[in-house]
Structure 1
Amino acid sequence: MKHTPTIIAAALSFALAGPAAATATPEEIKTLGTTHTLWGAEMAGNKDGTIPAYTGPIKPPASYDAKNPGVRPDPFAAEKPLFSIDAKNMAQYADKLSPGIQAVLKKYATYRLDVYPSHRTASYPKFFTDNTLKNATGGCKTVNDGLQIAGCHGGMPFPFPKTGNEVMWNRLLKYDAYALMSANMTGSVVDTQGNRTVTGMGTMWIQYDIFDPERTTPIAEQEIYERLRIDYNEPARKAGEKLIVQDSVDMVNVGRRAWSYLPGMRRVKLAPDIAYDTPSPTGGGAGTVDEAAVFYGSLDRYDFKLVGKRELYIPYNSYKVRDPRQCPSSVSMSTRNHLNPDCVRWELHRVWEVKATLKPGKRHVYPTRTLYWDEDLPGVGIADNYDSTGQVFRVTHTLPITLYETAAHSTDEWVTMDLATGNYARQEDVTDKGGWVAIPFKPKTFFASEALAGEGVR
């Protein structure tokens, strides 16, 4: 996975000759493919050996059946936890725990982190790493107070981020696949008595036109970078509902556009509330729209400060919690207040820490948030969300895996723990019925409001 010296030299020459718009320095660019991965993460492990060097993509276990790609057995099933962290010993590991996770440990005696050996399993296609090099050398930048990008290609926008907004753009333009589908994406909530309620189930499609492998042009100034569609079939009250969300790289003039089809009204309508701190449609009051998958949406309400890079325990390689043979929903969501700790794998990774502070004149239920994003997979991480008194209100984290059948990831499964109510919400993939799979591109009309009107039940 290395570029030839000729390509690196040519790119470096361009960087030196061109305008000083690129955030990557010539010295940093030289390290891509050597001391840094082709997407900008540190190649080496840490000095303690608790974070390994990056050595290449994950390989599927022998039990993986390529004919059933949505069900992915745990490649690390034979591994045992190195140790566990709970309220009694958390002080020993506090420097590698987010304040939000520490708050959860303090509040719930049943919560614990089983820490396993770390595995860096990111996998990117060549076009993505080629485009990352273009971004580093060709002047990819943020403009308009970080709310737009310019001169960027479909790779990692900022392999060497210098600002909080650049880290957040890496998350927004994360690479999971060109297009993904889950036939049984499920939202559910567990109350303080341990009762699980399915709040929405259906088929979800996510598509990133900017990651067309045949594309050679940069991302246009108002282009849609992510298209999402959900067709609900359960529970009965939501059956027949449809939702489309489109997010643009221009958060100033375009922003998010969303439409919903409601069978009871038999019409399509704009859904401007599918944004910011509107309660999540499937969160049961335990989360907001923009904390789906830790952060989902526009950056315009916060100032984002890059604190730096640190080592942190985060959920990673979450095959076990997604495997119905090990942790079906009846097991993983059988405990009150949080997921069953037996089902969640924690690992030590390097993360970018970003502090989000509400801008003057803006409103949000979370005045401050601290976000932690993995250096290899910028869609993987934790959010500590604070209330107006400065106390941890909710903690959200992803449950990511790397796909076996192609260079791709699944980072959109997550859980939010509401420390005020004791409830928690999860978006999960019912893998025994067919989980996330990479699919060919669908036409843009599939993600248009007219498609909802044409397909709605009348």
Structure 2
Amino acid sequence: MAQGIKTLAALLAAGIAGTALAAATPEEIKSLSGARTPWGAEVAGNKDGSIPAWTGAVNPPAGFDPQKPMRRPDPFANEKALFSIDAKNMDKYADKLSDGTKAMLKKYPTYRLDIYPGHRTANYPKFYLDNTLKNASACKTGSDGLKLEGCWPGLPFPFPKTGNEVVWNRLLKFDAPAMTTTAMSSRVVDTQGNITLTGASTAYIQYPIFDPKRTTPISDNEIYEALRLDYSAPNRKAGEKVLVRDSVDMLDTGRRAWSYLPGQRRVKLSPDLSYDTPSPTGGGTGVLDDTAVFFGAMDRYDFKLVGKKEMYIPYNSYKIRDPQVCPENVRHMKNHLNPDCMRWELHRVWVVEATLKPGKRHVYPKRVFHFDEDMPGVGIADNYDSTGQIYRVVLNLPISLYETPGHHATDEYVTHDLATGMYAHQTDPTDGGGWVVTPLKPNSFFMPEALAAEGVR
């Protein structure tokens, strides 16, 4: 890797790279083997040590057996919270809280943040880091930030200079090339605390671009993510199937989505499975691109990179993913998830402000995203309504998969609707034992013809 850094730095210094390449400087590229992690985050902790230095992957807890169902015990179970933040003392920590987090603390007397010691558990496989190094000088955006050009299957922008680049890092986050779970569930909790199962499915998620055997750059219209859901519950959704495929070209290719409805026995193109279409399993509490903080095309917003800051975010969320510690009726309470089941840590995040473009429509005129510097698919979204008030707050509940170092699970999320007091806890794999890393499936598995062939009444 060191030789590759020297080569890229020399190319840039000689001017061979030209203005078409990304804006990483030779000094920045060189830092990927020193002051920066191989994906561009700061290696060092902060001055008071409340954010630790990055040291590598988390180790499995003693007694963990990866051959058993993948309910991963908390490797930090013996740690105690350092302190808690609630409405009474939130002003003391206001500079490290998102506006949405502060709004929730003010609105719900039962809401609090238990702050634990920080652990930077991100880690990535060698092929991904090698490609990230190439991207530091090769990857760029085109068409007003809506296309990727010249990029390799790694983190697109280890040194992001624009809001679009930070969001591209989120969209091309690396959890694993392919994962599945046999019982991914979504639940909505109403204002009385009643829990409703809105969807349970076998879920398959695949990033075709992250095939470890691949040796070529990403093509200009390639599919970077494929998601398939085969529903088994509730009864009204049993037998339904959903397929979503996202391209690195958001303009000419964009998202393609299909659904199979057993009552009609046919597969339908579903162009509305995007943007601010209400989430099919959200019970009216969120929209499709709320998924995992943000999920979809960027063409309706202008994205401004505000900068990087220290912030309390949910992290290492093993406790809430363990049904023996936090079963369904414990982890869900009125208005929000049970604070006893949550873990918050101080991390550095990229802050991006999204404002609706003239002539475009979305239920959120303004959004502010906070994405972790180590795992760019992790963070918080503060979504505003037309009056400028916080409308909905979205949180990721991430973990690192310690049995397969370099892999993570970051798609589980919760959307809080402050207007109604309801919330939706979605893409929760706990009932099926969590996400399991699997071999890549053939592309045909993620084609609409497969939905039709496997569909049943």
Q: Could you state the TM-score of these two structures normalised by the residue count of structure 2?
A: 0.98
Report deviation, 1:69: 5.5
Give, in whole Å, the separation in 2 of the partners of 1:74 and 1:328: 15
Give, in whole Å, the separation in 2 of the partners of 1:119 and 1:36: 17
Give 1:87-126 correspondences, 5 Å limit. 87-126=87-126
Partner of 2:211: 212
Report deviation, 1:433: 3.4
Partner of 2:9: 12
Partner of 2:139: 140
| Equivalent residue letter for 2:222 | E
Please list every run of 5 or more consecutive structure 1 residues that lacks an aligned counterpart in the other structure: none
Give, in whole Å, the separation in 2 of the partners of 1:365 and 1:37: 37
SS at match of 1:91: helix
The answer as to whether partners of 1:70 and 1:431 remain within 8 angstroms in 2 is: no
Partner of 1:369: 367
The answer as to whether partners of 2:392 and 2:415 remain within 8 angstroms in 1 is: yes
Question: Is 1:36 the equivalent of 2:33?
Answer: no
Partner of 2:150: 151
Q: Give the one of 367, 387, 392 matched to 1:389.
A: 387
Give, in whole Å, the separation in 1 of the partners of 2:116 and 2:72: 19
Report deviation, 1:80: 0.5
Question: Is 1:84 the equivalent of 2:81?
Answer: no
The answer as to whether partners of 2:199 and 2:233 remain within 8 angstroms in 1 is: yes
Percent pairwise identity:
67
The answer as to whether partners of 2:223 and 2:247 remain within 8 angstroms in 1 is: yes
RMSD over aligned CA atoms reads 0.9
The answer as to whether partners of 1:69 and 1:405 remain within 8 angstroms in 2 is: no
Q: What are the superposed Cα offsets for residues 421-442 of structure 1, whole Å, 9 maximum, x if unpaired?
A: 0000011434353210110000
Partner of 2:444: 445
Partner of 1:228: 227
Deviates more, 1:65-74 or 1:310-319: 65-74
Give, in whole Å, the separation in 1 of the partners of 2:10 and 2:104: 50
Q: What are the superposed Cα offsets for residues 248-280 of structure 1, whole Å, 9 maximum, x if unpaired?
A: 000110110000000011111011111000100
Q: Give the one of 376, 379, 385 matched to 1:378.
A: 376
Give, in whole Å, the separation in 2 of the partners of 1:361 and 1:429: 36
| Equivalent residue letter for 2:299 | D
| Equivalent residue letter for 1:350 | R
Give, in whole Å, the separation in 2 of the partners of 1:196 and 1:14: 58
Report deviation, 1:449: 0.3
Report deviation, 1:114: 0.3
Partner of 1:62: 62
Report deviation, 1:10: 1.6
Please list every run of 5 or more consecutive structure 2 residues that lacks an aligned counterpart in the other structure: none
Q: What are the superposed Cα offsets for residues 107-130 of structure 1, whole Å, 9 maximum, x if unpaired?
A: 000000000000000010000000
Give, in whole Å, the separation in 2 of the partners of 1:279 and 1:432: 24
| Equivalent residue letter for 2:203 | M
The answer as to whether partners of 1:63 and 1:73 remain within 8 angstroms in 2 is: no
Q: 1:84 to 1:171 in 2, by over 3 A?
A: same
Report deviation, 1:225: 0.4
Give, in whole Å, the separation in 1 of the partners of 2:305 and 2:17: 26
Give, in whole Å, the separation in 2 of the partners of 1:22 and 1:294: 26
The answer as to whether partners of 2:184 and 2:432 remain within 8 angstroms in 1 is: no
Partner of 2:22: 22
Give, in whole Å, the separation in 2 of the partners of 1:291 and 1:68: 33
Give, in whole Å, the separation in 2 of the partners of 1:181 and 1:325: 21
Give, in whole Å, the separation in 2 of the partners of 1:277 and 1:36: 37
Report deviation, 1:70: 1.8
| Equivalent residue letter for 2:304 | K
Give, in whole Å, the separation in 2 of the partners of 1:432 and 1:210: 29
Report deviation, 1:174: 0.3
Give, in whole Å, the separation in 2 of the partners of 1:60 and 1:75: 6
SS at match of 1:293: helix
The answer as to whether partners of 2:413 and 2:428 remain within 8 angstroms in 1 is: no
Give, in whole Å, the separation in 2 of the partners of 1:338 and 1:415: 9
Give, in whole Å, the separation in 1 of the partners of 2:33 and 2:341: 35
Question: Is 1:130 the equivalent of 2:127?
Answer: no
The answer as to whether partners of 1:429 and 1:436 remain within 8 angstroms in 2 is: no
